[in-house]
Structure 1
Amino acid sequence: MSSLFANRDYRHLFGAQVTALLGTGLATVALALLAYDLAGPRAGAVLGTALAIKMVAYVTVSSLAGAYADRVPRRAMLVGLDLVRAAVVVALPFVTEVWHVYVLIAVLQSASAAFTPTFQSALPDILPDEGDYTRALSASQLASSLETLLSPVVAALVLTVVDFPWLFAGTAAGFLASAALVVSARVPRARPSGRVRFVERLGAGTRIFLATPRLRGVLGLDLAVAGAGAVVMVNTVNYARDELGRSETEVAVLLAANGVGTILVALALPRVLERVAERGVMLAGAGTLCAGVVGAVGLSLVDSGAWRWPVALGVWAVLGAGAGLVLTPVGRVLRRSSGPGDRPALFAAQFSLSHACWLLSYPVAGWVVTAAGFTTGWVLLAALAVAGAVTAVVVWPAERPSAVPPAPMRRNGGARLGAPGRSGEDAAGSPTGR
C-alpha cells in the first residue's frame, strides 16, 4: 500500500475522493433530517422521491458524460463539477418547500453523475499495474466505508452543538477541497475510442455490458445491492425514530453500523482477491445481502422489545458487509473487460445501469413503506435482492483464469470493440467472454 501512495497523482486524487466523500456523508445525514423537518412522518416518501430524482440523473447524465469523456480534459471537468456541487449544497439549508429540495437535488446529482465515472475511469490510466489498481480499489472502498462510519459520527458530534443545517457547510467545504486536490494532480486525458458518431458513443458501454456474460452477472449483482441497500439509505431515519424511538444521534449510529460492516470487508479483500476469483467473492456478497434484508424483514414483524436496537445494528452491519463484497471488486472486472479506449464508456455504463437498479428500489423503500409499512416494503426489496443474486449465478458462468477470449471486430471501419489493452485484460463484447 505504501508504494501505491508514493504515486503523487493517485495520492492527490485519493485525497480528493476522501474529502468529497466526507462532505457527501454529512449531506446524507443532513438531508434525512431536513426531510424529517419538512415532512415529519412522510420523510421516507420525501427521501424516496429525492433519491429517485438522483437515480434518474445518474442513469441519464452519466451516459452523456461517458459519451464525451474522451473528448474533454478530465481534470478541468472534475474541478468544474466539484464547484457546481459546492454551490448547490450551500443553497440547501435555505429551502422552505419540499419541491425546492427536489430541484437542488436534481442539479447536485447531475454533477455527481458526470463526476464519479470520469474519476473512476481515470484510475486505471494512472495505475497501470494490476496489483496497484486492486489496492486502489480496496482503498476507495475503504474510504467509502469510512465515510459511512465516520460521517455519521462527525455529524452526531456536530449536532450536539449546532443545528443540522450547518452540516451542509461541511459538505461544501469537502467539495471545494476536492477541487483543489484535483487541480494539483496530473489527470491524463482519456484515450480516444475511435467512435465518431454521438449515438455510437452514447450506447457503447451498454452494448459491451449486454455482450459480456460476466458483466451481465455484475448487473444482476447491482440489483441485489440496490434492493438491500435501499433499506439502509431510505428507511433508516424513520425506522430508528418512529419504530425504535431513537434520537437523531442514534440515527447516525445506525448508519455507522452499516459502515463498520463494509470497512471490515474492505480491509480483508486485497488478500482474499489474490486467492479467490471476483465471481466467488461477489456472489458471496449477494448471499450476505439477501440474508441481511431477510433479517430486516424479521425485525419489522416485531412491535416491541429493547433487543431490537442491538439486532438492528447487527443487521445494518451485515448489509454493509454484503455491499462491500459486491462493490469492491467491480473495478477489476470492468478493467479486464475493456481496452483503454472503451473504459470511460464502460465505467459510465456501470454507473448508469447500477443506478437504474436503485431507481427501482428507492421508490419501493420510500413510497411502499410509507403507504403499507416496513414489512410489505422490505419483503419487496428482499425479492429484488434475491432476483439479482439468482440472475448473477445463472448468467455469470465460472471462469477459467487463463482464458483470454479475442475481441470481435466492429464492422464500421474495422476498429475493435473492447479490444484487449496492453495489460492483457479480457476483451469485452466477445461472444465467449465471461
Structure 2
Amino acid sequence: MTTLWRNREFTLLWSSQSLSDLGTGVASLALSLLVLVETGSAVGAGLVGTVSMVARLVIRLPGGVLVDRYDRRRVMVVCDALRVAAFTALSLAVLAGQVSLWLILAVALVDSSAGAIFGAAEDASLRSIVPVEQLPAAVARNEARSYGTSLAGPPLGGFLFGLGHAVPFLGNALSYLVSVVAVLRIRRPLQGEREEQPQAYGAALAEGIGFVFANPFLRALLLIAAPLNFAIGGVLFTVVVALQRNGTPPAVIGLTETIVAVGGLLGAVFAPALQSRLTLPGLVRVICWAAAVLLAGSALLISNIGAAVPLAFAVFLGPACNAALFGYQAAITPDRLQGRVISIVMVVATSMAAMAPMAGGAMVATWSPSTAVLVFAAAVVGSALTATFSSGLRQAVEEPAEVALS
C-alpha cells in the first residue's frame, strides 16, 4: 500500500485545496476590511461574517443530498467556477470604484454556500481515492491543512489588501481556478454508481438522518464531537472577554487565537503517531478526559494570556480525535450516503459551536469568566462519559471498518 503522499489523487486534491483554503482565509479578512473602507460601518462588516456563517449552516443539509445525487467532480467544479466568477466580479468592481455593501454580501453568500457544498463533496469523495486503512491519516492531513491556512490566511489577507484593495480577491479567484483544474485532473471516479431514479429531497434526507441515528457509532460521534466543539469555542471566547476586561493590549489578545491555532496545527501533524499507539475507543477516551482537565485548567489562569496554553493543549488533542472518529465514519458509511451523513454530523456539531459565544457571553455577564470556563469543561466531561460507556465506540474494535463496510 503506497503512502498518502504517493497517492496522486489525494495529493492533487489536498494540495489544490490547501491553496484554495488559503485564498478563502485571505478573502475573509479582506471582505471585512473592504466594508470598513467603503462604508465605514462596523455593523456592515459584522453582517458579512454573519451572512457567511448562516449560509454555510443552512446549505449543508441540501448540499449533502446534492453531492450524493450528482457526480461529485461536476459539483465541485461548478462550485469553484461560481466562486471564480463571484470574486472576479468583485475585483473588477473594486478596480472600477463601484463597490457596494450589497455586492459584498452577495459575494460572501456565494462563497460560503458554494464552499459548504464543495466541502461536503470533497469529504464524501475521500473514501473513493484513499484506502480504508489510510482514512484517519487523510482526515488528519486535512485538519493540518485547515489549521495551517487559518494561521496564514488573515495576516496575508491584510498584507495583500494593503498592496491594493482588489489584490486579495483576484488572488482568491485564482486559487479557485487552480482548484477547478486540479479536480478535473483527478482520474478516479469520486463516487460509486448512482441511482437511475433519484429519491425526492425529503426522502433522501430522511434516509440519511435515519442511517445516522440507527448506527450506534454515529450516535456516539454526535454526542462526542458536538460538546467538544461547543466547549473549545466557548472557552476561547471567554478567555478573550476576560483578557479584554483586564485591560490586556489588543495585540496580546490576538496572540491567544494564534497560540490555539498553533496547538491545532501541531496536533494534526502528530495525530497519526497518537492513532498508532491506541485503539480508536482508547484514543477518544484519553483525549476527551484530558481535554476536560485542560479546559478546567484554563479557569485557573483566566486573568492572563497563560489561559491560552491549556486550551492550546486541548486543541492539540482535537485532530487525533477527529481523525479517528471521522476516518471510521467515512469507512462505515455507504458511498451513496457519504454526503448526507457528513452534512448531518457537521450541522449538529457546528450548530453547537455557533451557540458557544452567545452562551459564553451570557455566563460571563451572570457569573465570572472562571465559572463560565468550568461550565464548558463540564460539557466535555459529557463527551468523555459518552466515550467511556458508549457501546458505539466499542463497535470500532469489535467490527473493524472493512467488516462494517461489507
TM bucket (normalised to shorter chain) is 0.7 to 0.9
Q: Which residue of 2 aligns with 1:210?
A: 213
Distance 1:261 1:125 in 2: 30
CA deviation string 1:240-280 (max 9, x = no partner): 77742133xx6664333222212222222223323312233
Distance 2:291 2:35 in 1: 27
Identify if the C-alpha distance between structure 1 residues 401 and 395 changes in structure 2 by more than 3 Å, giving closer, same or farther: closer
Q: After superposition, where does 1:305-324 map in structure 2 within 5 Å? A: 308-309=304-305, 311-324=306-319
- State the shift of 1:196 in Å: 3.0
Is residue 2:403 matched to residue 1:403?
A: no
- Matched letter for residue 143 of structure 1: R
Is residue 2:19 matched to residue 1:19?
A: yes
Q: Which residue of 1 aligns with 2:80?
A: 82
- Matched letter for residue 131 of structure 1: E
Distance 2:233 2:185 in 1: 36
Distance 2:342 2:237 in 1: 26
SS at match of 1:425: helix
- Matched letter for residue 199 of structure 2: V
Is residue 2:336 matched to residue 1:341?
A: yes
CA deviation string 1:328-363 (max 9, x = no partner): 223322123222333233223223332232233254
SS at match of 1:284: helix
Identify if the C-alpha distance between structure 1 residues 279 and 109 changes in structure 2 by more than 3 Å, giving closer, same or farther: farther
Instruction: Note if contact 1:217-1:393 (Cα within 8 Å) is conserved in structure 2.
Output: no
Among 352, 355, 358, the alignment partner of 1:360 is 355
Instruction: Note if contact 1:223-1:384 (Cα within 8 Å) is conserved in structure 2.
Output: no
Q: After superposition, where does 1:256-405 map in structure 2 within 5 Å? A: 256-300=258-302, 302=303, 308-309=304-305, 311-364=306-359, 368=362, 375=369, 378=373, 381-397=376-392, 399=394, 403-404=398-399
Q: After superposition, where does 1:21-420 map in structure 2 within 5 Å? A: 21-30=21-30, 53-88=51-86, 91=90, 104-127=107-130, 129-152=131-154, 154-155=156-157, 162=163, 167-186=168-187, 188-192=189-193, 196-231=199-234, 243-247=247-251, 253-300=255-302, 302=303, 308-309=304-305, 311-364=306-359, 368=362, 375=369, 378=373, 381-397=376-392, 399=394, 403-404=398-399
Instruction: Note if contact 2:127-2:330 (Cα within 8 Å) is conserved in structure 1.
Output: yes
Identify if the C-alpha distance between structure 1 residues 232 and 185 changes in structure 2 by more than 3 Å, giving closer, same or farther: farther
- State the shift of 1:393 in Å: 3.9
Identify if the C-alpha distance between structure 1 residues 280 and 102 changes in structure 2 by more than 3 Å, giving closer, same or farther: farther
Bigger CA drift: 54-63 or 257-266?
Answer: 54-63
Distance 1:102 1:362 in 2: 23
Distance 1:236 1:103 in 2: 33
Identify if the C-alpha distance between structure 1 residues 233 and 39 changes in structure 2 by more than 3 Å, giving closer, same or farther: farther
Distance 1:71 1:389 in 2: 36
- Matched letter for residue 180 of structure 2: A
- Matched letter for residue 191 of structure 1: G
- Matched letter for residue 424 of structure 1: V
Distance 2:35 2:241 in 1: 11
Identify if the C-alpha distance between structure 1 residues 68 and 130 changes in structure 2 by more than 3 Å, giving closer, same or farther: same
- State the shift of 1:125 in Å: 0.6
Instruction: Note if contact 1:224-1:286 (Cα within 8 Å) is conserved in structure 2.
Output: no
TM-score, structure 1 length as denominator? 0.74
SS at match of 2:394: coil
Identify if the C-alpha distance between structure 1 residues 377 and 163 changes in structure 2 by more than 3 Å, giving closer, same or farther: farther
Distance 1:123 1:293 in 2: 32
Instruction: Note if contact 1:59-1:353 (Cα within 8 Å) is conserved in structure 2.
Output: no
Identify if the C-alpha distance between structure 1 residues 328 and 404 changes in structure 2 by more than 3 Å, giving closer, same or farther: closer
- State the shift of 1:119 in Å: 0.4
- State the shift of 1:115 in Å: 1.0
Instruction: Note if contact 1:295-1:315 (Cα within 8 Å) is conserved in structure 2.
Output: yes
Q: How many residues align?
A: 394
- What residue ranges of structure 1 are gaps of 5+ in the alignment? 303-307, 406-419, 428-434
Q: Which residue of 2 aligns with 1:424?
A: 403
CA deviation string 1:278-313 (max 9, x = no partner): 23323333334434543444444x3xxxxx23x144
Q: Which residue of 2 aligns with 1:3?
A: 3
* Identity %, equivalent residues: 20
- State the shift of 1:378 in Å: 5.0
- State the shift of 1:163 in Å: 7.9
- Matched letter for residue 282 of structure 1: V
TM-score, structure 2 length as denominator? 0.78
Identify if the C-alpha distance between structure 1 residues 370 and 336 changes in structure 2 by more than 3 Å, giving closer, same or farther: same
